[in-house]
Amino acid sequence: MKRLIKLATAIALCASGAAFAHGYKAGPIEIDHPWSRATVPAVPTGVVYFVLRNPSQDEDRLVSVSTPVAEKAELHTHIRDSDVMRMRKVDSIEIAPVSTTALEPGGST
């Protein structure tokens, strides 16, 4: 049976600067080096990247994210629509047993 994790992003992001942190744990899942790029004032949204490491033999899923500095936080993937990359909301991100899942710029999750 799959366990479900909820990641409460433990870093303080600011709209005008980049944020960096080290690592956190949610059960057996390790959340490594969450970070964010600075955004310009005209852009109302931001993004956080991080790496999920699952050292256990059990499959897991990231089912939500949150941050104290944004009204809402969502999980997204990127899809190519003709020649344009678009973000699409996803309900969860699978984390395979004994694996690393990177949420990174240009990544599919």
Least confident of 3-12, 17-26, 56-65: 3-12
- Is 109 contained in some domain? no
The confidence band for 1, taking pLDDT boundaries of 50, 70 and 90, is: very low
> 16: domain range?
3-103
For residue 97, what is the domain's CATH number?
A: 2.60.40
CA distance 8 to 65: 6
Q: For 40-78, how does the pLDDT look when each residue is reduced to its tens digit (9 = 90+)?
A: 888 888 888 889 999 999 999 999 888 777 788 889 888
Burial class (CB in 10 A: 0-12, 13-18, 19+), 29: buried
- Is 13 contained in some domain? yes
> What does the DSSP 8-state code read for residue 106?
T
Q: Which long-range contacts (CB under 8 A, 24 or more apart) does 77-85 make?
A: 77/108, 77/109, 78/106, 78/107, 78/108
pLDDT value for 57: 96
pLDDT value for 21: 58
- Is 108 contained in some domain? no
Give, in degrees to the nearest 5, the angle at Cα 6 between 41 and 36. Answer: 25
pTM for the full model?
0.73
The answer to whether 61 touches 54, Cβ cutoff 8 Å, is: no
The gap from C-alpha 53 to its chain's centroid, in whole angstroms, comes to: 12
- Is 82 contained in some domain? yes
Count of domains for the chain: 1
